[in-house]
Every structure is written in structure tokens, then in C-alpha cells.
Amino acid sequence: AALTELAEKSDLLTYEFENVDQDALARVQKRTGVLVPQGVKLLTVTSNRINEKNFLRTHGLPTTDFAKVASPAELKVAVKELGFPAILKTVSGGYDGHGQWDINSEQDVKNMLEKWPKNLLAILEKRVDFVKEISVMVSRDNCDQVKLWPITENQHKNH
């Protein structure tokens, strides 16, 4: 309802992160006719960590090794496949350490299995040593003018 109200008062809607309800956005766009210049299709890639990694790999970009994990049994298999250390992450909705669990030992696996969240769809990612994490923002206007924003360094604690 709030999104519909916003759309009815706006010439266009944009979003700046992947945790947007793409179904709601598509419905509101269809119902109100509001312009969504980024479209909704992009969210099917960026809002799902498995889709995102597969998209990157399809386009020749490297990713850490990963495995889809939809059950405790699949976690056991994925850990055997990827080894330690790793991070278990929700496939969608998590950010900046939320919806993430360190998997560094068999004890971590055991702890996770004992408190397995209901209906968890996750991805196990092999931990990568890195020097820094950066974000690159690119925008394009309705005249196809592309702008690259300054690169920023992300600084996180505890993930």
C-alpha cells in the first residue's frame, strides 16, 4: 500500500540496493504506470546470491567457490566439498553480516545443524582472503548517459 501511494505521487521510482520486493515493485509499476528506469529484471540477479554468482561466472568473472544449501544434509555435503573456512549465507535478504554464519570447523557445522533456521535457503561460500572490499556504482539516465561514481572502500567488522 505504501509503495502504491509513493508511486501515485511520483514520476519515477528507483532503488539503490537489492533487497527490494521485486514482485511488489512490478505490480505497482503495472497498476500505476510509474516509470521504473532500472526495471525489475535486474533484481532477479542481484537479490539472489546464487543467481548473482552464476551470472558473474557466465560473464567470465571469477567468484569464490560456492554451493547451494537448502537443508542440513546439503550443508554436510557442501562442507565436504568446499572445506573450511567458509561462510553460510542466506540466499536473499541478508546484508552486512546479517543472515551469515561462520563455518570454520566441524563444531561450527554441528552448532548450525542444531539451530537450523526453518525454511532456510542458503549458500555456502568458501572464505577468501582479501586486502579490501570496494563498491562500484554505475548509473545510466534515460538518454543512455553513463556515469561512474567514485569507488568506495567498504569497511566491516564481524563480517
Q: Where does 65-126 sit in CATH, by number?
A: 3.30.1490.20
CB 144 within 8 A of CB 85: no
Report the largest interatomic distance among the alpha carbons of the chain, rounded to a whole angstrom: 55
Q: What is the mean pLDDT of residues 5-14?
A: 93
> pLDDT tens for residues 28-58?
999 999 999 888 888 889 899 999 999 999 9
> pLDDT tens for residues 55-103?
999 999 999 999 999 999 999 999 999 999 999 999 998 776 788 999 9
Residue reference for cell 539516465? 141
pLDDT of residue 159: 61
pLDDT of residue 44: 87
Is the peptide bond prior to 85 cis by the omega test (within 30 degrees of 0)? yes
Domain regions of the chain by residue span = 1-47, 65-126
CB 48 within 8 A of CB 93: no
